[in-house]
């Protein structure tokens, strides 16, 4: 499989893991019905894996690791890992404000049918930052680099939960803080969402191999982290 368009992180006979860039849809679905651009699934199939199917989803604006089954008939076997809590996903996010060292967010999230479902996210704060950004009413701003571990897998769960505790993810257009988003986009020139699927860990259901993968965050993060 060529890596010219899609960065391949892992591949075996049954599956592959790629690094999805920000602002690329995983596949065309009901939720992306108004987006006519090429999807990540399209690109992978164009590069030779003709039956590749995503096992889980990432929001269009979220970057990072995503698992594909090489054939549709194998998708269910990999999805059982998620259903049984046998796959570990960790994300990095830049949040507004200073968070405590660690904690959990246990708050229901509404699904596409309008029904609330239990949702749980654990977090660990990795680093605090202060920046001399003038965003009224303050002349200095606080941010936290946070590792997020979703225990459940609801749509927009991490973004909703971050907002729920009043520490929204930077550049989240739906659940974020518009004043901080505006500053990052118009002053710093950073338009991407600061949410990155950094790590995947699972036992391959067909081979029994333990697969543990990590992917560094995209370059645009350094424009904040290294001012």
Residues classed as catalytic: 59
Residue 186's alpha-carbon distances to 163, 170, 191, 214, in angstroms, are: 22, 13, 8, 31
For residue 40, how many other CB atoms are within 10 A of its CB? 23
Helix (H, G, I), strand (E, B) or coil at 213: strand
- Residue 217 CA to residue 86 CA, distance in Å, equals 24
Residues with Cβ within 8 Å of 161's Cβ and at least 6 positions away in sequence, in order, are 105, 107, 109, 119, 121, 148
- Residue 36 CA to residue 134 CA, distance in Å, equals 38
């Amino acid at each position: 499989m060529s890596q010219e368009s899609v960065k391949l992180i892992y591949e075996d006979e049954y599956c592959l893991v790629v690094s999805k860039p920000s602002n690329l849809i995983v596949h065309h679905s009901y939720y992306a019905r108004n987006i006519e651009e090429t999807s990540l699934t399209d690109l992978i199939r164009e590069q030779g894996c003709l039956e590749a199917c995503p096992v889980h989803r990432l929001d269009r604006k979220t970057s990072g690791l995503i698992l594909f089954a090489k054939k549709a008939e194998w998708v269910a076997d990999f999805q059982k890992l998620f259903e049984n809590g046998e796959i570990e996903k960790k994300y990095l996010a830049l949040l507004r404000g200073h968070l405590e060292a660690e904690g959990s967010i246990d708050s229901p999230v509404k699904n596409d049918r309008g029904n609330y479902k239990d949702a749980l996210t654990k977090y660990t704060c990795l680093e605090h930052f202060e920046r001399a950004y003038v965003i009224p009413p303050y002349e200095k701003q606080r941010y936290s680099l946070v590792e997020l571990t979703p225990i459940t897998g609801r749509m927009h769960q991490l973004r909703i939960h971050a907002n729920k505790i009043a520490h929204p993810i930077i550049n989240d257009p739906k659940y974020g803080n518009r004043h901080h988003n505006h500053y990052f986009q118009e002053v710093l020139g950073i338009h991407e969402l600061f949410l990155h699927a950094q790590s995947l860990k699972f036992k391959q259901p067909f081979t029994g191999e333990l697969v543990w993968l990590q992917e560094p965050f995209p370059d645009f993060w350094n424009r904040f982290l290294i001012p």
